[in-house]
Amino acid sequence: MKSPRAQTWILSLILMELQTIATGVASHVQIKCNVGENITLPCVFPEVQSLPLTDIRVSWQTHSDVLMFLNYGTVEYDHVTDRYRGRTDFLGEYQSNGNFSLLLAGVDVRDEEEVIHCYIQVKESTGFALKYSSEVQLEVSGSFSQPLLEGPGHNSYTCKDRINATCTSIGEYPKPQVEWTINQKKHHDHNVTLDRDLNTKLFNVISTMTITASVDQTVQCSIKNTRNQKTRHSVLLRFPKCTNISSTTAVEKPARWRIALGVLGVVLLLALIGVAIFIIFIQKSRCPSSRDPANVQANGSTSVRINETPLLLINHSRTSNNTN
C-alpha cells in the first residue's frame, strides 16, 4: 500500500494533467539527438522568478515515468523512476530566472517513446495551481558503427563465379537503408537481416550481396540513417582479377598434349630397345659356339686336310725329279 505522501503526489500529477488539458500547453519542442548524447530539455517560466522556491512545484514526467520532481524548494529524488535516476538534474540557479530546464544524460531509444512534460505550479490560497506547462518530443537516432565489409577470402576466382560479400553494422536506429556499389554502380538486389537488441532497442544489420566475378571488381557497402540522413561507407574492397575459363582451357590443352606425346615417345623408345635386344638374342642362339667339341673336331680335321695336300704335292715333285 502506498504511503499518504505518495498518494498525494500521484493525485497532484493527475490534477496537473487535467489542468493542462483545460489550459493548454504553452510550448511544444522537438529535439533531435543521438544515442548516448547529453541534452537539455527546456522549461522556462520567468513569471515565477520573484517567488520563493517554497511556493513553487515543478514536475518533469511522462505518462508513466517521473524524471525529476521539485516540491517546496526541495528535489525529491525518491519519486524519480529507476531508469531515469542518476540521469537527470536541473540546470544552475533555477530560482533566479525561472529556468527549470532539465539535463538528460545518456539518451537512449526508449526516451522517445513518450512525450516528456514539464509542469510548473504556484502556491495559492487554495493550494497549488498549474501556471505553465511545456512538452518535449525526442527524435533519437542510433550512432551506428562504420560498416564492416567482408568477402569469401579466396586468392583467385574464375570469371563468372558467384561471390558472396557481407556488410555488417551495429547500433542502428531507426531501421537503416543499405546500399551496395559494385564497380561504381548502385545495386539494391541484396538481402538484409535486422537483429534488434531487447534492452537498447537498437538494430544490428547484416546485409549479403551475391556478385559475379569479373576481371576488375570493386565492392563497397553504405548504410544510411533515414532520420538524420547520415551515411557511413565501408572500405573499398577490391577482389583479385578473375581467370577466364576459355583462356585457361586453351593453355591447359597444349600442356596435356605435350605430356601425352612425351609419354608415347618414351613407350616407343622402350619398345624399339626391346625389339633390338630380342633380335640380338635370336641371332646368338642360332650361331654354334666356338667352344663346342664337335666344332673343334671338325675344325681340326679340316686343318689336317689342308696341311696334307701340300705335302703330297711336294713328295710327288721330288720323285719325278729323281727319276729324271
pLDDT digits (tens, 9 = 90+) for 19-56: 555 555 678 999 999 999 999 999 999 999 888 989 99
Decide if 4-141 and 148-245 have a common fold.
Answer: yes
CB 172, CB 148: distance < 8 Å: no
CB 213, CB 155: distance < 8 Å: no
Which residues face 148 on adjacent strands? 168
Q: What whole-number distance in Å separates Cα of residue 152 and Cα of residue 237?
A: 12
- In this prediction, residue 252 has a pLDDT band, given cuts at 50, 70 and 90, of very low
Residue type, 275: V
CB 134, CB 146: distance < 8 Å: no
Confidence (pLDDT) at 248: 46
- Helix, strand, coil distribution of the chain in percent, nearest 5: 35, 35, 30
Confidence (pLDDT) at 319: 45
Domain 4-141 has CATH 2.60.40.10: yes
Domain 148-245 has CATH 1.10.10.10: no
pLDDT one-digit tens code per residue, 63-114: 999 999 999 889 999 999 999 999 999 987 666 688 999 999 999 999 999 9
- In this prediction, residue 190 has a pLDDT band, given cuts at 50, 70 and 90, of confident
CB 136, CB 31: distance < 8 Å: yes
Sorted by where each begins, the domain ranges of the chain are 4-141, 148-245
- In this prediction, residue 11 has a pLDDT band, given cuts at 50, 70 and 90, of low
Query: Which residue do the cell numbers 601425352 mark?
Result: 260
Query: Which residue do the cell numbers 729323281 mark?
Result: 322
Q: If you average pLDDT over residues 125-142, what whole number do you get?
A: 94
Residue 272 neighbours by CB under 8 Å, 6+ apart: none
pTM for the model stands at 0.64
DSSP-assigned letter for residue 174: S
Helix (H, G, I), strand (E, B) or coil at 50: coil
Which among 30, 76, 138 is positioned nearest to 68, based on CA atoms? 76
